[in-house]
Amino acid sequence: MQQCPNAWADVAFTPVENVKELIRNDFSDRVLWGTDYPIQRAYYKDSDQEQLYLKRLDEVRSVMFDMAFDKLTYINSNQLF
């Protein structure tokens, strides 16, 4: 992302530690919220999908400050589209 200023990333399959690194390296303006919901649903059929989704959201939220989280979850997508 440093070499490609027009590149964006989403966090669908990204480990939380990598999300933290993106934010720490000042890419919070180019990261979008994404989920692995279709895959998650296929692999965790017997699980509470809402709880899995909320857990993922909390995990990602825990590694960043509020403004980066706001950018990730809605500000950036509004700017991109």
| CA distances, 72 to each of 29, 45, 64 (Å) | 8, 27, 10
By the 8 A CB rule, do 11 and 34 touch?
yes
pLDDT of residue 9: 92
Residue 52: predicted pLDDT: 79
- What whole-number percentage of the chain has pLDDT above 90? 60
Return the domain boundaries, the chain.
Answer: 9-80
What are the pLDDT digits (tens) for 23-59? 999 999 999 998 766 666 666 677 787 787 888 889 9
Q: Which two tokens stand for residue 56?
A: 């993922």
